[in-house]
């Protein structure tokens, strides 16, 4: 910033009762964002500070919340949209999709796999600029072009590629799979993928049988 100017920012911080592991995770996310650098379609790291031993990660502020919220709010049939709000058209949806693709292309050029790409993890800034965010699951793969998960924990399997679900193997291609599910979210104005599937076991069986998401009703044949 130039002297005498100001800007609105967002600050990522930990809960008061945070664990040492949560501190390590936040610092690791910050280090990864620092390694990635700046791109218009990625939430950029602006700075870091500490207070009472706790880290505060300062990042760009996204005025319009996340893409999932934005899609639902501006959908043609949204109950939350007022008459003065713009209704999203196919051209808007294509623009959102292209912006995220550019952000992911840059991320992969920096040898980084996101692992959690979804509409909820894309933020919408001023002028409807898409910003990929939430690098908590992202991994640096500069030493090799894949990452194999060794720890346990909940994962967003509806957005995950089969090799990630069944073999804990993450590659650039598994991010591309997640991007495909994100495209489906965009073209359905934020609907939940596989809406009839509510449990992990059913989802795993569904994936093993090579079923895929159906064409969204708002999506033209040319786009599909």
Residues that are catalytic: 116
Give 10's strand partners: 59
Beta-strand ranges (E) seen in 119-162 are: 122-124, 130-132, 139-140, 146-148
Confirm if 117 and 104 have CB atoms less than 8 A apart: yes
Nearest to 81 by CA among 92, 71, 90: 71
Nearest to 125 by CA among 151, 100, 150: 100
Q: How many CB atoms lie within 10 A of CB 198?
A: 8
First-to-final CA distance of the chain: 43
């Amino acid at each position: 910033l130039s002297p005498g100017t100001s800007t609105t920012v967002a600050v990522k911080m930990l809960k008061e009762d945070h664990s040492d592991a949560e501190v390590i995770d936040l610092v690791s996310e910050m280090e990864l964002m620092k390694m990635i650098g700046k791109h218009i379609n990625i939430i950029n790291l602006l700075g870091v500070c500490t207070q009472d031993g706790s880290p505060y990660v300062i990042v760009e502020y996204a005025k319009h919340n996340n893409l999932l919220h934005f899609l639902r709010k501006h959908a043609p049939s949204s109950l939350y949209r007022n008459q003065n709000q713009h209704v999203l058209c196919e051209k808007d949806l294509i623009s959102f999709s292209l912006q995220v693709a550019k952000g992911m292309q840059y991320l992969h050029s920096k040898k980084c796999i996101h692992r959690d790409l979804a509409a909820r993890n894309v933020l919408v800034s001023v002028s409807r600029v898409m910003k990929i965010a939430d690098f908590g699951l992202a991994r640096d793969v500069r030493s090799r072009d894949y990452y194999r998960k060794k720890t346990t924990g909940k994962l967003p399997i509806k957005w995950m590629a089969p090799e990630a679900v069944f073999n804990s193997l993450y590659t650039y291609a598994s991010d591309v799979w997640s991007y495909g599910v994100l495209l489906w979210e965009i073209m359905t104005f934020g609907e939940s993928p596989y809406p009839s599937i509510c449990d992990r076991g059913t989802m795993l069986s569904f994936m093993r049988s090579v079923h895929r998401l159906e064409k969204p009703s708002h999506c033209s044949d040319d786009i599909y």
